Structure 1
């Protein structure tokens, strides 16, 4: 039983994490696009058997995978989810507008939405959807090119940024979730579904115009059964089949609302479980993808609270003018790991969403209160330690 894994940059599991989780008990085959960068080729080939195929041709990919002896296929990269589904013989993983249409048709969502033929349509939509308008690319990932428009000024700023054209955009009605007692926690969560296992992730507040800034475990919500049920209904509505899914949800008073469903393991989730809990989520995700018999893992026990901070540059920033050093950040209270700190002189582009974070840092705390305090302390420190300039070279 060999599991083929479509590999590209920015997966929720890296090639190293995949091979480590597979160990010697689950054979894996890496499948890369024939035009993959040399760096990714070198990494993949050093870790596992690797084949190349044309990622624009699902039939050719399926043939290459079958020829190599693999019996199942998956991916941990958003943009490759449609390809993986097609190779498995399923309907292609739906883009944003089709996903919303199916969720509404199944009664899982009530959110109004539309594809944008013209960015100027957002003026009319804001007058119709008083709570606000969320605009994102139909195939967007990681908050890239995503806007939350709540005022006419927001709309004009959005239109100014799209004078020279835009990727194909999708707009949907903004739904406010229930306010949380902890101010560091956003009004939405994600539900992580990995075969029989399900648990909830808290999220940090968004940065302008609509960028994710962090994730926290375990959730501080005391009741999550309804959220998990909602997430599973959404996956069923998309006819997704067994697998790993990352479902973003706004908790509500009478019912919960789906933000979107991602057809792969959530980013940072396996690492968080390794730091704070008793479940090897990465291995479980691989076993589920390979069709191994279900393990009796349905709960997760957290030994400590953990968070990952994705520190964003200001929206107007175009370059880093001052940055802290990795060693000083590693000594801050509760820091577990400093994944990256970008340096002075490097460019910034908020349009890349979370992929443009200037620092990615893991934290821990004995309880929620300590974790939230350390998260806020580190955020304030980074605000002082970093400096940025705009496109004209002026401080911002």
Structure 2
């Protein structure tokens, strides 16, 4: 029997956990996880696969030492599903002669300032480095008001907000600086198309693609419910509730961006704003998006995690028929899959009993409620999507049914938080 090839997975919190990765790797490769095994969140995940996979603890090791260890493992490929491990994965790939983004490309993919520069031939978006509160006045003069303040390196909308004045920018920068000394960027605010304001859907989408030998192959255009302020993502909708011609424009823009950045292979997750002047790139991510593999597989049957593993090993990948608005995929035209993230409301609340949360599963269209309200409940918008209390998964017959279901979910959650649906509504509008 021929031995399976070794695949290194540089693991950390990200878009695929160890159990999911091992499931997708069955019969394909032998996975070796390189990770800080004693880090609490990683240790909890590894507990699910104890004794079923090889784990190399890289805690406390420098990049050079990790690369030396990796070079001795005889790997045929390397991949990561974590934004925070893209740099290390690129270094391992370069040292071992394996397929992955180059270190130079990763610098662009993970640096919001450099990425805007690299995309200047695709679209011009004002973006200025802000390292100190004294930089705010000049940055606003160049970008305009309002603007978006965000970390230069980061994911999940952590410490990301809209600022409307120089004074507010200075205050936020001073507040965010309490975590670590980091660079921030002040970006031009991409205003959503006012025509979408009353649609009940978010004014942005994401495009999921497989890139093979530099050629982007679209898997899906993913719609979104409205953001929770300031910029927290509340879920995913497949297929997106878009007109077919607008979806085509979104894909065309995304593919131009991927080619401009020079992405050669791998899975990408590109966020696109829907403005009155047409689609605009928010950012390009050089890895699988969070929660995306689950909803794509549930709606189309395609395993994006397995595709990422195959691409890393240099094996052929057959993309699914693209799941685009107005098209069909997975043999079930019209069916809409969704994930809906729940966030705690601002201000004091008196949560009801857990049975109220359990009752969400009784709503037609809800398949699974994975939500837990902690004892020390508080709304920390700075944590971005990491502040979500959990996810509701389900499927409806069409977008109209889903819109109605989301309204019912919000009403149930108002009762849970406040005891009455007439209390302040759960925030759902875009900032």
TM-score (norm 2): 0.80
Q: Give the drift of 1:110.
A: 0.6
Q: Give the drift of 1:308.
A: 1.1
Task: Name the structure 1 match of 2:117.
Answer: 101
The 5 Å alignment of 1:171-210 reads 171-178=186-193, 179-180=195-196, 183-195=199-211, 196-210=217-231
Task: Name the structure 2 match of 1:392.
Answer: none
The 5 Å alignment of 1:159-170 reads 161-162=175-176, 167-170=182-185
Are residue 288 (structure 1) and residue 311 (structure 2) matched? Answer: yes
Are residue 67 (structure 1) and residue 79 (structure 2) matched? Answer: no
- Checking the alignment, whether the CA contact within 8 Å between 2:133 and 2:174 is kept in structure 1 is no
Task: Name the structure 2 match of 1:119.
Answer: 133
Are residue 91 (structure 1) and residue 114 (structure 2) matched? Answer: no
Q: Give the drift of 1:181.
A: 7.4
- Checking the alignment, whether the CA contact within 8 Å between 1:250 and 1:256 is kept in structure 2 is yes
- Checking the alignment, whether the CA contact within 8 Å between 1:34 and 1:52 is kept in structure 2 is yes
Alignment CA distance shift 1:156-1:87 (3 Å): closer
Pick from 237, 243, 260 the counterpart of residue 260 of structure 2: 237
Q: Give the drift of 1:21.
A: 1.5
Pick from 212, 220, 224 the counterpart of residue 241 of structure 2: 220
Structure 2 residues without counterparts, runs of 5 or longer: 95-101, 212-216, 324-328, 420-426
Task: Name the structure 1 match of 2:390.
Answer: 359
Q: After superposition, give the CA deviation of every residue in 1:266-286 in whole Å (9 maximum; x if it has no partner).
A: 111111122222322222222
Q: Quote the Cα distance in structure 1 between the aligned partners of 2:75 and 2:219.
A: 28
Q: Quote the Cα distance in structure 1 between the aligned partners of 2:313 and 2:118.
A: 27
- Checking the alignment, whether the CA contact within 8 Å between 1:334 and 1:363 is kept in structure 2 is yes
- Checking the alignment, whether the CA contact within 8 Å between 2:66 and 2:92 is kept in structure 1 is yes
TM-score (norm 1): 0.87
Q: After superposition, give the CA deviation of every residue in 1:157-201 in whole Å (9 maximum; x if it has no partner).
A: 636745857642111101123343762211111111124343211
Are residue 20 (structure 1) and residue 23 (structure 2) matched? Answer: yes
Q: After superposition, give the CA deviation of every residue in 1:335-375 in whole Å (9 maximum; x if it has no partner).
A: 11122222343444221111111232112210111112112
Q: Secondary structure at the match of 2:51?
A: helix
- Checking the alignment, whether the CA contact within 8 Å between 1:247 and 1:260 is kept in structure 2 is yes
Alignment CA distance shift 1:376-1:145 (3 Å): same
Alignment CA distance shift 1:110-1:335 (3 Å): same
Structure 1 residues without counterparts, runs of 5 or longer: 389-395
- Cα RMSD of the aligned pairs, angstroms, is 2.9
Q: After superposition, give the CA deviation of every residue in 1:316-338 in whole Å (9 maximum; x if it has no partner).
A: 57x87556444222222311112
Alignment CA distance shift 1:125-1:306 (3 Å): same
- Checking the alignment, whether the CA contact within 8 Å between 1:245 and 1:263 is kept in structure 2 is yes
Q: Quote the Cα distance in structure 1 between the aligned partners of 2:35 and 2:204.
A: 34
Q: Give the drift of 1:77.
A: 0.9
Where do 4+ consecutive residues of structure 1 move more than 6 Å? none
Q: Give the drift of 1:70.
A: 1.6
Number of residue pairs matched by the alignment = 385
Task: Name the structure 2 match of 1:314.
Answer: 345
Pick from 24, 42, 57 the counterpart of residue 52 of structure 1: 57
